[in-house]
Structure 1
Amino acid sequence: MTIDKETVDKIAHLARLELAEDEKQEMIKDMSGILDFMAKLNEVNTTGVEPLIYMTNDANILREDVVRQEITTEEGLLNAPKSDGSHFLVAKVIG
């Protein structure tokens, strides 16, 4: 596949981009380089290579949750536009 001005115009339209003429020329060069690289990757012999699904064999390496009070309820409500002293008050959004 070759990248030409019409192809760049179509992709720019689909992406809702406005490109100047010099930007279009740069985009043609960049997109052609990407396609050339993909063609080189297609030349690589991957016979017998297992697909990589995960970067490691480790599963669910998570830290333990530690419950701690970083700020008090009063401190958390200091910047609230409206509160009742223990909860944020917000406008009703469901009728």
Structure 2
Amino acid sequence: MSLTTEQVLRIAHLARIEVSETEALTTQAHLNGIFALIEQMQAVDTRGIEPMAHAQDLGQRLRDDVVSEPDRRAAFQAVAPETEAGLYLVPKVIE
């Protein structure tokens, strides 16, 4: 698949992007290069190959799920203007 300059200009118009004729030619070359690469990748026979989530088969290192900071909720709420049932009360904004 390859695009013509008119198609590039139409796409730019639909996207509300102003491009000059020279920019359209440059963009056309870039897009046609991308389409050529996609065609090459689609030509590769991938039957029998299992899909992968990542290019490298690595496991993620996870740290232990432990509390690392002290609970300071009571201290923070002690200095708050108003709290109720562990929640901060704020003035109503929407009438």
TM-score, structure 2 normalization: 0.61
Between structure 1 and structure 2, the one with the greater Rg is 2
Q: Which amino acid aligns with 1:8?
A: V
Q: How far is 1:85 from its partner?
A: 8.8
Q: Quote the sequence identity (%).
A: 27
Q: 1:26 maps to what in 2? A: 26
Q: Return the structure number with greater relative CO, CA threshold 8 A, min gap 6.
A: 2
Q: 1:8 maps to what in 2? A: 8
Q: 1:92 maps to what in 2? A: 93
* 1:17-73 Cα distance to aligned partner (Å, 9 max, x none): 111211111001001101111111111111101122x22574x8654364537xx95
Distance 1:2 1:9 in 2: 14
Q: Secondary structure at the match of 1:2?
A: coil
* Alignment coverage as a number of residue pairs: 85
Distance 2:69 2:40 in 1: 53
Q: Which amino acid aligns with 1:26?
A: T
C-alpha RMSD over aligned residues: 3.4
Gaps of 5+ in 1: 74-82
Q: Which amino acid aligns with 1:92?
A: V
Name whichever structure is richer in strand by fraction.
Answer: 2
